[in-house]
Structure 1
Amino acid sequence: MQHLPASTLAAREGRTVVIADIDDAPELADRSLGGVEELRALGVRAVLSAPIVAQDRPVGSLTAHRDTALAWSQGDQLLLEAVAAEAGLAIRLSRLLEENRARLGQQTALLRAAQVLSGELELGAVLERLVDEVAALLRADASDCYLYDRERSVLRCVAVHGFDDSLVGFEFPATRGLAGLAIREGRPLVGGEYGSLADGVPHDAYDGFTDAIAAPMRWSDDVQGVLGVGRRSGHAFSSRDADVLEAFAGLASLALRNAQTFTRSSRQARVQRGFYRIASVLGQSLSRTATLEAIAQAAAEALGGAAAAVLVPVGRRLTLSGSHQLADGFAAVLRDGAEDGDGPLARAASQGRIIAAPTLVDDERLPATWRETAAASGYRALLAVPVESPRHEAGGLVAVLFTEERVFTDDDLELARHLADATRGALERRTKRARARTAAHAHRAAPDE
């Protein structure tokens, strides 16, 4: 390492070093880091190096080299840091193994969990496997994993072992129980006489437990959740057990980070496909029906919906004019007209307001026929985006339907607004082209003077 300055700097300062061009990198001028000449001799022009951290201190670095001067993307940096984090966890786990060979079974279970982590991007499946493994490893009667909602200051159960599955989805204030104490302390806590906690978790499922450990799941300085195990036998957990649970909590945190990165990348790709389809509409001479159907497909793809419908006013009623993957029964209802012109949907369309219905069947802003037929068709949530139509002053709606109940985020609403703008552009472009064709046809048909 003494001959590779960027690697030395990353390990020394405990931060990621990003060098697009080693010939324009004053931070590498310190000769104690090693000479840049070594990098040149290896044919290196650009360097990305992330520290490998074990037990809160740098123990090495993971470095990528390029033979051309080129800027590193944020994705490159996130990927290298994630791999370095996995390497740090691996080093820590190997040290635990060296310290006590008798706990080989524990390390084997950790390895299996890490393999699940590296081979599975679905967060729910990874966390389920982790709670199963940690319960078996620590001979616990039950284990659970809660994610932390910082805005609402609550913990929400996402995976269990040894509990009834109905516990999944349960929420409680993040200040309560051993989990709340672990979050405040920022470290795993071992609790004897668990039932005597003054402010325990408010759920009957936790009655009868005598001993427990709770370990916070952390990424950098952010608490992401809590991993816990419990026993009803009265057999106490040791500090070594707490160390093992902390390692599993690190794996769970990394799984959550990887899943978030994967979800973000998948969402970006989906959004790009949707807007590419709208851009394609802008570049083609399509019929009005084909244009509206392409817009419906773009909206469904961009927002991750199962189906979409484009509604425009005909007389005083919003009527289906284009769709994508829409169930026949629901399409028939929309063709008959959604509602009179003074209803909530029509007002939302004319006033340019988005309607978000996380639970479609219970949303009384929507016509009863809509809700009943949507439920029968398997739709559980809806996001209606207003669209200004050049042919209709009142404007229309693009309704995107989802097969699961869904909480719409600020990002979803912002994306919906961008989608409305892009859709308006596509419709305006088509209208201008249609007018131009009509004018050209009229000019050709007029007699020569």
Structure 2
Amino acid sequence: MHLHTVAISLALLCYGGLIYIVLHRGLRGNRLNQVFSLYLLTMVLWHIAYLMVSISPSAESALFWYKVVVAVVSGQFVIYFIFTKTLLRIKGMEKLVRGGLLVWALTVVLATTLQEPAFFTGIRRDEVTGLFVPTFGPLLPILGVPNYLFLGYAIFNLLRGYRSTKSNLQRSRIQYLLLGIATVVLGTMANFVPRLQPYPIDVAANIVNALLITYAILRYQLLDITIVVRKGLLYAIPTAIIGVGYFLTVFLAVNLLHIVTQYQVFLLSLLVAAVTAVIAQPLRDKVQAWVDRLFFREKYDASLMLQRLSRTAASVLDLDRLTNMILEEVTATMHIARAAFFLRQEGSGDYRLMAQKGLEQGADLRLRKDHPIVEWLADHEQALTRREVEVMPQFKALWGQEREDLEKLGAELFIPLKAKGELVGIFAVGPKLSEEAYSQDDQLTLTTLANQTAVAIENARLHQETRRRLEEMATLRETALDISAQLEMSSVLRSIIERVTKLLGAKGGDIYLYDKAKGELRVAVSHNPWGDYTGRTLKLGEGLAGKVVLEGRAISVADYAAWPGHSPRYAKEPFKAVASVPLKWRGRIIGALNVADDTEGRVFDEDDLRLLELFAPQAALAIENARLFEAEAKRRREAETLRQASLALTAALDRNRVIERILAQLQQVVPYDSASIQLLERDKLVIIGGWGFPNLEELLGISFPVNGDNPNRVVMRTLKPFILEDAPAIYEDFKKEPFAAMNIRSWLGVPMLIGNRPVGMITLNKCQPGFYTEEHAR
């Protein structure tokens, strides 16, 4: 038997085995396997033609089969180009593919129709190997150039794919393909060296290529045929070991121990069979672990990952640590670009993004509880693929925003996390770095992981929720103690805002008080790193706090500056996320509680608003307690003032002295810059005394007609207090001397009555417009 015949038979065995593996996996619906099987078929035909050359009895027969080799090799180069294009998912190139097929067809036609010396000028039998060796004609190099160009372009695509891919697995596959095809090219080039031509160097190169492809399939899953190979190896290796062990045992027993009788052989066989039955399963397990570790590394790594996570997940109660640990393990082991956990929120039932890897920082995505994906996963146990979301009719009704959120997420699989039959979360994974689709094994691994960790994640979430509720209750209790221990408003409110911001992890906050009479809100307490906003005012409906008071509901804004309702007073402030809730007391709104943060991507969610609403009644109670305390203290001061005034009246008979004491006592109750007492004399009011005027002597004796154009007339006619927020803007007399020098803006007039009979009035003046209120008049 010639050396050529042995080498070719071995090559046929290698490529025939590869074809069997691919066909056993199936070709339907798998474009890559279809193209690869064509490539393997051309390799088989190539070696069949070589085999026919090696056994040809005549030069004419060998020359015919050499022409077949030329036709088949041309097709092999073109199909390998198509195979690399399919493997690397290169779009387009349809014209180039058609051109390659045309070159192949032309080569086939010319090789079968043209006579010598087109392809071969002659043929001779080699004296050493006995093989018929041709001499190349002028047409062979001409047709060989375009064929080699296609093969070179395929190698170029592999090199480009190697440099562009981020997957180590894909790089390893391409490395072995490059090494194999480079070996094939070198082997075919040996045919152009006359001294090497008689030897089967190209066949040996093809054998090396077959072995490299086989290793790439087994070790790096070049094609999706791992199940067939894995099962074959799993049963073949233990069978071979047991068979060899059995025959070796019998052989040694017969030849060394001289066991020859039928009875002795039967007992020995029975003993070996018993030992085999005992060691078969452990041996199978050992072989499975060895095969997975050596040839199916991804599956082996995934199995180890599941073991690690199942051991550690149950003992971790920190939700952030647990979810991030799972994400790190999954993305690293399965070479996934991005992954995320959506967990169910108490109260709303929506599923919020709680942990992610590979997405934009600050991404705030959520799936509402009636989202079609949520409803589908709640009713099914298996994973939902991106393809199913695109084609299934129940997902056609997704809103535009929901589709945008899914595009941002970029998930290829949605895996349900279920505990006690309820959907407690969703595990979303993005595409693989190799851009390959998820196999059934991959989906089974991820589903198993979800089933193993769902309970642990739910326990960690409940643990976190319980801790948060305990912190809330402790903070509320401390706040209640502060309210009962302190009656000074600003101290209690500052304590509340400091605790709220700490509990929410917010940078700052404010408490606004609402003045219904003026229709505005004023910052009573400010706790911010950006500055002290105390005293700032907003009109009702202005800004977030104004809108909250106007509408009576909690509101959260992700970016205050970009929010259409923002107030110009805060336009240049650095904070972004803001949340506000109304402060209500017995059905009426008395203010607003705000928190803010300047962290990029921070959003105050429903849980944050719920917590703010827990503290809002505490703040409202503190405000009302402080107001009641202040009102009671004021009434006591008023009573004391009246008592002091009565004592003054009884202790002094001098009118000027009495007036002076009354006005001095009054100033302790109602602030003023200047004040006067006017007595009613017939149809006019006459100033008989005053306090705080620089020119009091000029004012004494000035009278005001009761029926004249002045505010005194309103007081005497209605017998009720009368307030002017800006006196000069209403009555021109306040702009004239001697009143112009006093700079009177806010004016309050109160009648003096004996029974129901008016005897005069008291006027109080402030240089600040809008100062006096109904409370002052009371």
Which band: TM-score by shorter chain? 0.5 to 0.7
Matched, 1:245 2:451: no
| Residues 78-89 of structure 1 aligned to structure 2 (within 5 Å) | none
Contact kept? 1:154, 1:172, Cα under 8 Å? yes
Instruction: Render the CA deviation track for 1:244-266: whole Å, top value 9, x for unaligned.
Output: 32232134423531342233123
Return the alpha-carbon distance in structure 1 between the equivalents of residues 408 and 581 of structure 2. Answer: 40
Matched, 1:426 2:426: no
- TM normalised by structure 1 equals 0.56
Instruction: Render the CA deviation track for 1:348-402: whole Å, top value 9, x for unaligned.
Output: 43664434324323223230332431xx1x442222433559xxx9732221223
Offset of 1:407 from its aligned partner? 4.7
Contact kept? 1:293, 1:322, Cα under 8 Å? yes
Offset of 1:272 from its aligned partner? 1.7
Match of 2:506 among 291, 305, 315: 305
Offset of 1:443 from its aligned partner? 7.1
Which residue of structure 2 aligns with residue 383 of structure 1? 580
- Distance change >3 Å, CA 370–CA 119, structure 1 → 2: farther
Offset of 1:283 from its aligned partner? 1.6
Which residue of structure 2 aligns with residue 365 of structure 1? 565
Name the count of aligned residue pairs.
330
Match of 1:199 among 345, 369, 391: 391
Which residue of structure 1 aligns with residue 537 of structure 2? 338
Percent of residue pairs identical: 12
The DSSP-based 3-state class of the residue aligned with 1:360 is coil
Return the alpha-carbon distance in structure 2 between the equivalents of residues 229 and 382 of structure 1. Answer: 33
Matched, 1:402 2:605: no
| Residues 94-173 of structure 1 aligned to structure 2 (within 5 Å) | 101=289, 105-114=301-310, 117=313, 123-137=319-333, 139-140=334-335, 142=337, 144-147=339-342, 158-160=355-357
Return the alpha-carbon distance in structure 1 between the equivalents of residues 589 and 439 of structure 2. Answer: 67
Matched, 1:319 2:522: yes
Instruction: Render the CA deviation track for 1:137-174: whole Å, top value 9, x for unaligned.
Output: 4x5454634527798998969534xx665796678997
Which residue of structure 2 aligns with residue 81 of structure 1? none
Offset of 1:406 from its aligned partner? 1.9
Return the alpha-carbon distance in structure 2 between the equivalents of residues 341 and 311 of structure 1. Answer: 11
Return the alpha-carbon distance in structure 2 between the equivalents of residues 359 and 348 of structure 1. Answer: 16
Which residue of structure 2 aligns with residue 21 of structure 1? none
Return the alpha-carbon distance in structure 1 between the equivalents of residues 593 and 362 of structure 2. Answer: 37
Structure with the greater alpha carbon radius of gyration: 2
Which residue of structure 2 aligns with residue 278 of structure 1? 479
Offset of 1:288 from its aligned partner? 2.7
User: Which residue type is aligned with residue 322 of structure 1?
Assistant: V
Between structures 1 and 2, the one with greater strand share: 1
The DSSP-based 3-state class of the residue aligned with 1:361 is coil
* Structure with higher RCO (Cα < 8 A, 6+ apart): 1
The DSSP-based 3-state class of the residue aligned with 1:356 is strand
Structure 1 residue ranges without an equivalent (≥5): 1-96
The DSSP-based 3-state class of the residue aligned with 2:538 is coil
Contact kept? 1:141, 1:230, Cα under 8 Å? yes
| Residues 228-243 of structure 1 aligned to structure 2 (within 5 Å) | 228=429, 232=434, 237=439, 239=441, 241-243=442-444
RMSD (Å) for aligned C-alpha atoms: 4.9
User: Which residue type is aligned with residue 459 of structure 2?
Assistant: N
Return the alpha-carbon distance in structure 2 between the equivalents of residues 101 and 112 of structure 1. Answer: 16
Offset of 1:230 from its aligned partner? 5.4
Offset of 1:271 from its aligned partner? 2.0
User: Which residue type is aligned with residue 629 of structure 2?
Assistant: R
Matched, 1:187 2:382: yes
| Residues 4-23 of structure 1 aligned to structure 2 (within 5 Å) | none
The DSSP-based 3-state class of the residue aligned with 2:451 is helix
Contact kept? 2:490, 2:525, Cα under 8 Å? yes
Between structures 1 and 2, the one with greater helix share: 2
Return the alpha-carbon distance in structure 2 between the equivalents of residues 272 and 172 of structure 1. Answer: 29
Instruction: Render the CA deviation track for 1:47-94: whole Å, top value 9, x for unaligned.
Output: xxxxxxxxxxxxxxxxxxxxxxxxxxxxxxxxxxxxxxxxxxxxxxxx
The DSSP-based 3-state class of the residue aligned with 2:486 is coil
Return the alpha-carbon distance in structure 2 between the equivalents of residues 164 and 407 of structure 1. Answer: 20
Return the alpha-carbon distance in structure 2 between the equivalents of residues 300 and 247 of structure 1. Answer: 41
- Distance change >3 Å, CA 430–CA 108, structure 1 → 2: same
Contact kept? 1:309, 1:399, Cα under 8 Å? yes
User: Which residue type is aligned with residue 381 of structure 2?
Assistant: G
Instruction: Render the CA deviation track for 1:418-448: whole Å, top value 9, x for unaligned.
Output: 4332322222223333444556677789589
User: Which residue type is aligned with residue 245 of structure 1?
Assistant: L
Offset of 1:197 from its aligned partner? 8.9
- Distance change >3 Å, CA 367–CA 441, structure 1 → 2: closer
- Distance change >3 Å, CA 119–CA 309, structure 1 → 2: farther
Return the alpha-carbon distance in structure 1 between the equivalents of residues 288 and 505 of structure 2. Answer: 49
Return the alpha-carbon distance in structure 2 between the equivalents of residues 312 and 196 of structure 1. Answer: 54
Contact kept? 1:227, 1:249, Cα under 8 Å? no
The DSSP-based 3-state class of the residue aligned with 1:362 is coil
User: Which residue type is aligned with residue 369 of structure 1?
Assistant: R
Contact kept? 2:590, 2:620, Cα under 8 Å? no
Structure 2 residue ranges without an equivalent (≥5): 1-284, 293-299, 393-402, 648-778
Return the alpha-carbon distance in structure 1 between the equivalents of residues 640 and 513 of structure 2. Answer: 33
User: Which residue type is aligned with residue 380 of structure 1?
Assistant: A
Contact kept? 2:541, 2:548, Cα under 8 Å? no
- Distance change >3 Å, CA 246–CA 280, structure 1 → 2: same
Return the alpha-carbon distance in structure 1 between the equivalents of residues 447 and 466 of structure 2. Answer: 29
